[in-house]
Amino acid sequence: MWVRPGSARPGVGGERNGALVVRVSARAVDGQATEAALAAVAAAFGLRRRAVTLVVGATSRTKILEVEGAEPAALTRLLTGAAGPTGGT
């Protein structure tokens, strides 16, 4: 996952260097953008927040997540940008 904090248009979709792009309005201060990104990913997959775990990248824009219960087809749809904004903050 690649996080873009401070985005005017939050959403999940598209790819950057093979990583899912997650845009959040939260700033990268005290983990706010990371938490917002995890919540946005959960919402994009139709899962509860607790199904998404940060594995690597707490202070980096590039993060590795574990998403429990995610459908591979949903990831493909998100990577191609077929999903709209999630509205997550």
pLDDT tens per residue, range 42-87: 999 999 999 999 999 999 999 999 999 998 899 999 998 754 444 4
Q: Measuring CA to CA, how many Å separate 79 from each of 16, 41, 52, 59, 70? A: 9, 12, 17, 23, 13
- Tell me what pLDDT residue 82 has: 57
Query: Residue 81: its pLDDT value, please?
Result: 77
Length of the chain, please?
89
> pTM of the full predicted structure?
0.85
> pLDDT grade, residue 23 (50/70/90)?
very high
Instruction: Give pLDDT tens digits for 44-53.
Output: 999 999 999 9
User: How many angstroms separate the CA atoms of 63 and 4, rounded?
Assistant: 11
Distance CA(76)–CA(14), nearest Å, equals 10
Distance from the Cα of residue 16 to its chain's centroid: 12
